[in-house]
């Protein structure tokens, strides 16, 4: 009997062990913690792509039947492989196993998906179809121009916050270029203390809505229908589904249909990210049922076709209608200078992004660069697109709908810029009135100098608010003392015009009628302008105490002029 006891215990142990191996894995039991998408130029690692997995579950995990997928392909199923707790595994193609064997545990898989250098969505899927971990990596995560060019891996900083995005990944600092099979060179505590934010909402049809967060959310809380409400009598949805693999999107099924040409508000409560941070500040988004894009609903509102050498072209669009449009159905293109055929057609976005009435969106190669060069009052309304070519002298911008019909078209010419501007580089052309024909050259003007020569994402500086030139010039304060004591040290001259396309010349005269200061000369204006006088003359000397006349003359190229006179007094404190 006693001889049978060890056999019995071994049998029980084997049963318990095999049972533990058969347990269904959970999200984040194993994470993708290193990515080698671009092996060349070689630093020291093998010239082959790989990803590294780390088991953070605290128990062994059998990876049999698991797969690695990208946005467009999938590997073959993993063979049976038990990955011990808190250990690493290199995953690569079957032909590269021998190259990585010296670095640690390695598993070769068939049809290992190509890792796109610029970025893609990588997902680790269990045999049960569970998304264990997903990473939408991007070349910008390197934050290093040399390392992003190849030969270096991307490493996760803190594997205990696996659903963080770019802020939890860095370029490897290991001299080899990466750390396959071992702890990452950038390993450090990097707790996630930032709550998720609601980015946008879009209606797929009258009863189905997709909302998008800026990061992965808890799949259970994301799937609680009671955590969402929609205004104007729609209420809470009847169901909610967190969408894999990113789990940053939730699809809602509504009990009441949405109406067209109506803007709703969706509100989110109690939804958290995978670190437990609950959505707080940014938890509402506009929602609407999109209409088909028709002609002249979306218009070209501003274009920069001759940027500074380090900048990029941009095209601003505006929704002048009462309808809601989906930018997924909009395309931008140009025309051939020789054949006039439409070409270089680019879809604006591949996901649902709504353009509401009165909204502006800016299309460019790199929105971050545009925002570095110009003020952006709506920084979220920028879309990066591989842009068609728009020459510096003249060209054609075409907007197409999903059926290939022209929504708007502009044949621009650099001659439309103000002749008063010698160097047109970096200056956008702005539409004056979005209700007037696009191709009317008189409906376009150079952006005002007072706004930095461009207004991407907000109302144009040359927007026409009135058809009659009315204006006002005010000086405040009327008495000032330029003694740098922090109280009324300068005077501000404010211009308020009802019509754009004007140029201002401002001269300050003393009581004897002698000019002492040219405050502005041929300054291009929008409907407003502001200038400061610090009490100095043209030679930067303090002018005497006394009364001065501020003479402002505004004029346009059509010969219209208007002059304003204001009095200001310079005083001294004793």
The CATH code belonging to domain 298-451 is: 2.60.40.1260
CATH of the domain spanning 471-570, picked from 3.40.1830.10, 3.90.180.10, 3.80.10.10, 2.60.40.2550: 2.60.40.2550
DSSP letter for each residue of 406-469 = EEEEEEEEGGGS-TT-S--TT--EEES-TTS-TT-GGGEEEPPGGGTS--TTS--TT----SS-
pLDDT band at 371 (very low <50, low <70, confident <90, very high): very high
What average pLDDT does this structure show over 102-131? 95
Query: In the predicted model, what is the mean pLDDT of residues 395-401?
Result: 98
Residue 469: pLDDT band by 50, 70, 90 thresholds? very low
Question: Taking 70 as the threshold, does the pLDDT of residue 29 lie above it?
Answer: yes
Task: State the pLDDT confidence band at 467, using cuts at 50, 70 and 90.
Answer: very low
The predicted structure's pLDDT at residue 206: 96
List, as one string, the DSSP characters of 362-414: EEES-HHHHHHHS--SSTT-EEE--PPP--SSEEEEEEE-TTS-EEEEEEEEG
Q: Distance between CA 384 and CA 365 in Å, rounded?
A: 5
Confidence of residue 464 (pLDDT cuts 50, 70, 90): low
From CA 46, how far away is CA 100, in angstroms rounded? 7
* Helix, coil or strand: residue 50: strand
Is the pLDDT assigned to residue 11 strictly greater than 70? no
pLDDT, residue 527, reads 82
pLDDT of residue 13: 47
Nearest-angstrom CA–CA distance, 508 and 514: 8
In sequence order, the 6+-apart residues with CB closer than 8 A to the CB of 5 are: none
Band (10; pLDDT cuts 50, 70, 90)? very low
> What number is the average pLDDT over the span 5-28?
57
Distance between CA atoms of residues 266 and 227, nearest Å: 10
pLDDT at 482: 86
On the CB side of 541, CA atoms within 13 Å amount to 4
Mean pLDDT of the chain: 91
pLDDT class for 522, splitting at 50, 70, 90? confident
Region 90-117: what's the mean pLDDT? 96
- Identify which of 248, 253, 245, 201 has the alpha carbon closest to the alpha carbon of residue 222: 248
Q: Do domains 21-171 and 298-451 have the same CATH topology?
A: yes
* Pairing assessment for the beta strands 382-384 and 360-364 based on DSSP bridges: parallel
Q: In this predicted structure, what is the pLDDT of residue 83?
A: 97
Q: Are 478 and 568 in contact (CB under 8 A)?
A: yes
Residue with tokens 């659903």: 163
The stretch 516-526 carries a mean pLDDT of: 89
Question: Could you read off the pLDDT of 240-286 as tens digits, one per residue?
Answer: 999 988 899 999 999 999 999 899 999 999 999 988 999 998 999 99
pTM of the model: 0.69
Mean pLDDT confidence for 53-72: 95
pLDDT reported for residue 488:
81
For the chain, the structural domain boundaries read 21-171, 198-288, 298-451, 471-570
Distance CA 534, CA 508 (A): 12
How large is the average pLDDT for residues 478-500?
Answer: 82
126 pLDDT more than 90: yes
State the pLDDT at residue 559: 62
Please report the pLDDT score of residue 17 as a whole number: 46
pLDDT in tens, 70-100: 988 999 999 999 999 999 999 999 999 999 9
Which one is predicted more confidently, 103 or 3?
103
Instruction: From residue 434, give the alpha-carbon distance in Å to each of 254, 300, 381, 483.
Output: 36, 8, 19, 47
Check residue 157 and give its pLDDT: 97
What pLDDT shows up at residue 470? 65
88-93 and 106-109 beta bridge pairing: parallel
Query: What local confidence, expressed as pLDDT, does residue 392 receive?
Result: 96
Could you report the per-residue pLDDT of 403-417, keeping only the tens digit for each?
999 999 999 999 999
Q: Give the pLDDT score at 475.
A: 92
Strand order in the sheet with 30-36: 106-109, 88-93, 50-55, 30-36, 154-156, 169-171
Starting at the earlier edge strand, list the strands of the sheet with 491-497.
471-476, 491-497, 528-533
User: How far is CA 292 from its chain centroid?
Assistant: 25
According to the model, what pLDDT value does residue 558 have?
Answer: 64
pLDDT for 93 equals 97
Of 54, 129, 50, 125, the C-alpha closest to 94 is: 50
Is 495:530 a contact under the CB 8 Å cutoff? yes
Look at residue 509 in the predicted model and tell me its pLDDT: 94
Confidence at residue 433, expressed as pLDDT on a 0 to 100 scale:
85
pLDDT tens for residues 185-195?
999 999 988 89
| Percent of the chain clearing pLDDT 90 (strictly above) | 74
Give CA–CA dist 18/242, Å, rounded. Answer: 32
Query: What is the CB neighbour count within 10 angstroms for residue 207?
Result: 16
Residues 219 and 247 sit within 8 Å (Cβ to Cβ): yes
Per-residue pLDDT, 573: 64
Contact 328, 353 (CB under 8 A): yes
Task: Quickly name the fold that domain 21-171 has.
Answer: Immunoglobulin-like (2.60.40)
* Position with higher pLDDT, 407 vs 6: 407
Strands 106-109 and 298-304: unpaired
Q: Between 57 and 434, where is the model more confident? A: 57
Strand (E) or helix (H) holding 13: helix 4-21
CATH topology of domain 198-288: Immunoglobulin-like (2.60.40)
pLDDT score at 275: 87
The H or E element spanning position 80 is none
Supply the pLDDT for residue 497. Answer: 83
- Percentage of the chain surpassing pLDDT 70? 93
Given this model, what pLDDT does residue 472 score?
A: 85
Which one, of 208, 233, 207, 212, lies nearest residue 222 by Cα? 212
For residue 8, pLDDT beyond 60? no
Exposed, middle or buried, 545 (CB in 10 Å: 0-12/13-18/19+)?
exposed
Give the whole-angstrom CA distance, residue 233 versus residue 283: 19
Q: What is the pLDDT of residues 206-215, one digit of tens each?
A: 999 999 999 9
């Amino acid at each position: 009997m006693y001889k049978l006891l060890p056999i019995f215990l071994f049998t029980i142990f084997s049963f318990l062990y095999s049972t533990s191996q058969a347990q269904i894995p959970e999200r984040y039991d194993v994470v993708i913690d290193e990515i080698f998408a671009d092996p060349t130029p070689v630093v020291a690692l093998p010239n082959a792509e790989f990803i590294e997995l780390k088991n953070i579950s605290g128990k062994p995990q059998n990876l049999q039947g698991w797969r690695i997928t990208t946005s467009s392909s999938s590997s073959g199923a993993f063979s049976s492989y038990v990955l011990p707790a808190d250990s690493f595994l290199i995953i690569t193609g079957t032909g590269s196993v021998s190259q990585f064997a010296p670095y640690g545990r390695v598993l070769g898989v068939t049809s290992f998906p190509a890792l796109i250098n610029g970025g893609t969505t990588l997902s680790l899927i269990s045999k049960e179809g569970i998304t264990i971990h997903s990473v939408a990596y991007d070349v910008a995560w390197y934050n290093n121009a040399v390392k992003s060019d190849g030969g270096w891996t991307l490493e996760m900083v803190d594997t205990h916050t696996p659903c963080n995005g770019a802020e939890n990944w860095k370029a490897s600092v290991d001299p080899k270029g990466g750390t396959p099979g071992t702890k990452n060179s950038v390993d450090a505590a990097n707790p996630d203390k930032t709550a998720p934010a609601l980015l946008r909402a879009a209606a797929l049809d009258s009863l189905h809505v997709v909302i998008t967060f800026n990061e992965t959310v808890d799949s259970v809380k994301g799937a609680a229908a009671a955590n969402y409400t929609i205004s104007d009598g729609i209420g809470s949805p009847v169901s909610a589904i967190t969408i894999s693999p990113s789990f940053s999107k939730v699809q809602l099924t509504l009990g009441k249909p949405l109406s067209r040409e109506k803007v709703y508000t969706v509100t989110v409560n109690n939804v958290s990210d995978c670190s437990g941070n609950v959505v707080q500040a940014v938890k509402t988004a506009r929602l609407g049922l999109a209409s088909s894009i028709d002609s002249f609903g979306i218009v070209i509102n501003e274009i920069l076709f001759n940027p500074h050498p380090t900048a990029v072209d941009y095209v601003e669009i505006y929704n002048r209608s009462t309808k809601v449009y989906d930018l997924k159905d909009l395309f931008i293109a140009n025309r051939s200078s020789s054949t006039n055929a439409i070409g270089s057609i680019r879809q604006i976005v591949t996901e649902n992004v709504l353009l509401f009435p009165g909204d502006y969106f800016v299309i460019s190669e790199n929105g971050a660069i545009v925002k570095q060069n110009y003020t952006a009052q709506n920084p979220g309304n920028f879309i990066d697109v591989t842009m068609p070519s728009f020459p510096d002298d003249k060209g054609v911008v075409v907007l197409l709908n999903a059926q290939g019909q022209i929504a708007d078209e502009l044949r621009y010419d650099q001659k439309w810029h103000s002749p008063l501007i010698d160097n047109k580089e970096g200056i956008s052309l702005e539409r004056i009135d979005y209700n007037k024909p696009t191709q009317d050259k008189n409906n376009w003007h150079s952006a005002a100098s007072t706004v930095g020569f461009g207004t991407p994402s907000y109302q144009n500086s040359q927007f026409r608010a009135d058809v009659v030139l009315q204006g006002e010039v005010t000086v405040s304060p009327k008495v000032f003392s330029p003694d740098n004591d922090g109280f009324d040290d300068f005077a501000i001259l404010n211009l308020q015009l009802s019509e754009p396309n004007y140029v201002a010349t401002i001269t300050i005269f003393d009581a004897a009628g002698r000019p002492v200061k040219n405050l502005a000369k041929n300054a291009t204006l929008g409907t407003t302008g502001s200038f400061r006088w610090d009490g100095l003359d043209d030679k930067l000397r303090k002018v005497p105490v006394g009364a001065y006349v501020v003479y402002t003359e505004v004029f346009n190229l059509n010969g219209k002029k208007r002059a304003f006179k204001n009095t200001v007094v310079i005083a001294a404190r004793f």
